Amino acid sequence: MKLTRIIGAMLIICMAWTTVPELVFSESESKQIAWTGYQEGMERMKTESKKGFLHFYTTWCTYCKVMNKNTFTDAKVIQYLNENFIPVYINAEVDTAVARTYGANKFPFTVFLDEGGAAIGNRPGYIQPDMLLDMLTYLHTDDYKAITFSAFLEKKKDLKALEPSKSN
């Protein structure tokens, strides 16, 4: 009788255990960038009226790996990209024609597109999380249409200086 209860309890625990990874996976999905392929991304930009974020990488690129590890795991970057952009992840060694189209020849290479798919600008090399957030905000808010990125950063710095101190 006691053995039957133990076996029954173990079965219940095992059944509960098999459902947990599914729940954990669902939660962790939202903590990752929702990358898409090039064709799908271009279509989604137009249908969802979102700007595009094209990230070109290669398998041998050291700074691509560093950007994956440091920048693309940052919670603020993940949230901002997923909410405001269509993030597209492109292996430049595989999609060589797409890489040539955007002039991606140094890696990592990031291209920012407007909602219609036209290039706004690009940035070769590693981008730190805070800098990428500034770049994304500058583009998403359409400030790029009125001021330079340097002026945008200066404006941000001035606004921070005006904020009341939170040390009380």
> Which CATH superfamily does the domain covering 33-161 fall into?
Glutaredoxin (3.40.30.10)
Q: Model pTM?
A: 0.78
Model pLDDT, residue 166? 59
The closest alpha carbon to 35, from 88, 94, 72, 111, belongs to 88
* Phi-psi group of 49: left, alpha or beta (phi > 0 → left; psi -120 to 50 → alpha; rest → beta): left
d(CA 55, CA 64): 9
Q: Which residues of the chain have pLDDT under 70?
A: 1-30, 165-168
Model pLDDT, residue 161? 84
Please give the torsion angle defined by the CA atoms of residues 125, 92, 115 and 160, in that order, rounded to the nearest 10 degrees.
-20
Model pLDDT, residue 26? 35
Note the pLDDT tens digit of each residue in 65-108: 999 999 999 999 999 999 999 999 999 999 999 999 999 999 99
Q: Hey, where are the domains in the chain?
A: 33-161
Provide, for the chain, the percentages of residues in helix, strand and coil under a 3-state DSSP scheme, each rounded to the nearest 5: 55, 15, 30
